[in-house]
Each structure stands twice: as C-alpha cells, then as structure tokens.
Structure 1
C-alpha cells in the first residue's frame, strides 16, 4: 500500500558532509529531495527548499575560504517548517548586499531574505567556522511572501 513506509516521527532529519566543490549544491539538493520523499506531503517544501539549499551551500563553497575543508549540511522538516543549516570553516559572516545591475553574482542572500521565514548565522558551537541557517514553510516560490 502506498505511503505505508513513511516514518511516523513528526520531525525528519538528515545531514551529510560535502567537499568545497561546485557539485556540492547539486548533491545537497538531491539529499533534500530524498529526505522530503520520506515525509508525508514533503513535496510542499521542495521548490523553495532546493533554491535556499543551493544559495547557502553555494555561498559556503565560494566564500568559506578554507581549502580542503568540508561543508556540513543539515535538514530538519516537520509539518510546518523546513530548517536548512550549512556549516563551514570560514569565519566571515554572510552579509546581504545590493549588487549593481551588471554584477553577475551577489543576489543569493537577497533571495534567502525574500523566501525564508527566518535566517541567520552564528559561530559553530563545536569548533572553527560558522553555521548559516534558514527556515521555510511549505509552498511554491510564488506563495512565499
């Protein structure tokens, strides 16, 4: 019977370590989809969750400034929220900026601010670096306001 293998725990979580590589956002999105496939109605978080994951993991890859260090990605989801955490070894906090119209990058955190219910950063509690996190609700990108 479809759906009978779904977990009954109200919160599902998954975490993994990724290299500082341009492939890591794609790998993290795949991990998110696999997690959401195990959650009843998890597909409601897919669109916004994948975009936010891409932005946070991509920023860690580009800006953590620590060659050879790994990036840790954590997801936790329940009926109302998806939490995304990205841990990296960099100590510079993320700062949203207003890029010029001709800039090819610099809009990621503006997207995070626009689509997330909340976001922030803090020093890693267990060592070097920082954690950048955000939370989003269910719905499509057009619904997130």
Structure 2
C-alpha cells in the first residue's frame, strides 16, 4: 500500500492513501525504519502512538479531495531524536482542545502535546497544505 522512498539511512519517506488502514501501514514503515537500530526499543512505542494520531488526524480532518495522498517523513538525528512529519493537502492547522470525559474522540493532539519532546505545524512549500511534526527523544520515550 505505501510507496516508500528511502533517502538516506537516517531518513525515510512514504506516500499513503487517505484510508483508515494507512495508520497501520505508517506504523509498519516506522518499525522497518527503526528496526535495525538499537534505539528502536525506546523510540518505537511512543513513535508509533504519535504517528498513528497524526496520520488519523490527516485522514479524518483533512478537507481536501479523498484522492489526495498523505506524505510521511521520518528522520533520526545524531542525538537519537526521532522526527515524524505527516503532510496533508489541507492548510488548516490542527487545534489542541480539551476533551470531556464523555467524548469518545478528540484526544489525539493532546497525546502528541504530552508525549512529544516538541511538536508543531508548518505550511508546506508551494502553499498547498501543511505538515504536523513531532520529536520523540529516547529520554521522553523511556518516561512515557
């Protein structure tokens, strides 16, 4: 399902359709990217959770034609910080909100806010869409 483009040993990108199964495919891409590294045990659980939340947001909330793809980038810095980016074709930035105890959804970005070392949202080059990014460090991942 994903179209993977390995750029360097420390970076990987892939394109995914806006489909509910894409969150699973994205997690598998991350697992394959981190698997050969010793740091994978620390980064993978938190990284997979945050990636799932960002991909799910792109699938559910993107106001663009359904045939637009989601672009994902993983980068591993020299200090073992994992950067996750999820790009979509909607320019509207996500908003962090409080979910009530009765809400069955709406906590994804709160998880990203609480578990990531840093996170943010930027416009994409060319002016179409945005990307939401987060950093997962070994220290914060171990504490989660």
Q: So what's the TM-score if we normalise by structure 2?
A: 0.87
Aligned match for 1:20, one of 18, 21, 40: 18
- Asked if the contact 1:48/1:139 (under 8 Å) is kept, the reply is no
Select between 134-143 and 54-63 the one with higher mean Cα deviation: 134-143
Matched residues in 1 for 2:45 and 2:82: separation?
A: 12
- Asked if the contact 1:12/1:39 (under 8 Å) is kept, the reply is no
Task: Look at both structures and tell me which one has the larger radius of gyration over its CA atoms.
Answer: 1
Q: Please state whether the residue corresponding to 2:138 is helix, strand or coil.
A: coil
Q: Please state whether the residue corresponding to 1:14 is helix, strand or coil.
A: strand
Structure 1: runs of 5+ lacking an equivalent: 1-8
Residue aligning to 1:30: 28
After TM superposition, give the deviation of residue 45 of structure 1 in Å. 0.5
- Does 1:77 find its partner at 2:70? no
- Asked if the contact 1:124/1:131 (under 8 Å) is kept, the reply is yes
Matched residues in 2 for 1:43 and 1:15: separation?
A: 21
The CA RMSD over aligned residues, in Å, is: 1.7
- Does 1:117 find its partner at 2:99? no
Residue aligning to 2:4: none
Matched residues in 1 for 2:74 and 2:142: separation?
A: 22
CA offsets 1:46-96 (integer angstroms, 9 cap, x no match) = 010000000000000001121210000000113430000000001110101
Select between 121-130 and 68-77 the one with higher mean Cα deviation: 121-130
Matched residues in 2 for 1:62 and 1:41: separation?
A: 31
Q: Flag as ranges the 4+ runs of structure 1 deviating above 2 A.
A: 38-43, 139-142
Structure 2: runs of 5+ lacking an equivalent: 1-7
After TM superposition, give the deviation of residue 22 of structure 1 in Å. 0.3
Residue aligning to 2:99: 99
Q: So what's the TM-score if we normalise by structure 1?
A: 0.86
Select between 64-73 and 37-46 the one with higher mean Cα deviation: 37-46
